[in-house]
Amino acid sequence: MSEHDETIYRTSPGRLGKLMAILVGLIVVGSIIFFALGDYWISELSPAGMKFAGITDEVTAPAVAQTGEDIPVTLDFIESSDFRTLAFNALPGEPGNNPTINAKVGDRIIFNIVNAGKSFHAFGVTLDDEGFGGILGGTAVALPNSPLKPGEGGASEFVPGEPGTYYYICTVPGHRAMGMVGTIIVE
């Protein structure tokens, strides 16, 4: 039955090279598409997730034009070494911990936020006196699902239209309860 050997075609290096080129080429093209779009693939939350987190398209406090002065505020996310206590600027008991911001209606508070800790954080201003929802439009820096990594920062603004007590918090779930909250008193 050895005449079978003559009739058998065994592939050549060239053809195999073509196959490898196709396969590797597909992987390369796929990788380019994947990396070029970067965080796009994980940039949103599902509709059910947005409903759960209380994120809606409406702004929960009316946006107003700025009629007062600019108040720049720098807030650093910091952590205690055992990660049990979190705060802005200084740990509890030290001066500068979670500074209270005083403002008048119409002032523009400019937040300069930096993650000076080792964990992930995100920022926002809310009227709610507990929890991590109800973030007012325009005040957010990063989101819990794509937070600021250590060293990263960002800026946002808040122009209060009504007097009252507002809170600036870290919007990562749980961080407010662990100490990352401060008050903004608006007259």
Residues 6+ apart with CB under 8 A from 44: none
Please state the closest distance from residue 102 (CB atom) to other proteins, in A: 29
**Total chain residues near other proteins (CB under 8 A):** 47
Is the CB of 27 or the CB of 155 nearer to other proteins? 27
Which 88-117 positions form the footprint of other proteins (CB under 8 A)? Answer: none
Measured in whole angstroms, the distance separating CA 179 from the mean position of its chain's CA atoms is: 19
Is 56 strand, coil or helix?
Answer: coil
Residues 6+ apart with CB under 8 A from 96: 89, 90
Nearest alpha carbon to residue 126 among 139, 135, 138: 135
Site mask, other proteins, residues 22-61, x = CB under 8 A? xx---x--x--xx-----xxxxxxxxxx-xxx--------
Among 7, 57, 58, 81, binds other proteins (CB under 8 A): 7
Which 119-158 positions form the footprint of other proteins (CB under 8 A)? Answer: 119-120, 145-147, 149
Torsion of CA 19, 25, 26, 27, to 10 degrees: 110
Beta bridge partners, 16, equal none
- The residue ranges that bind other proteins (CB under 8 A) are 1, 4-5, 7-13, 15-20, 22-23, 27, 30, 33-34, 40-49, 51-53, 83-84, 119-120, 145-147, 149, 173-174, 177-178
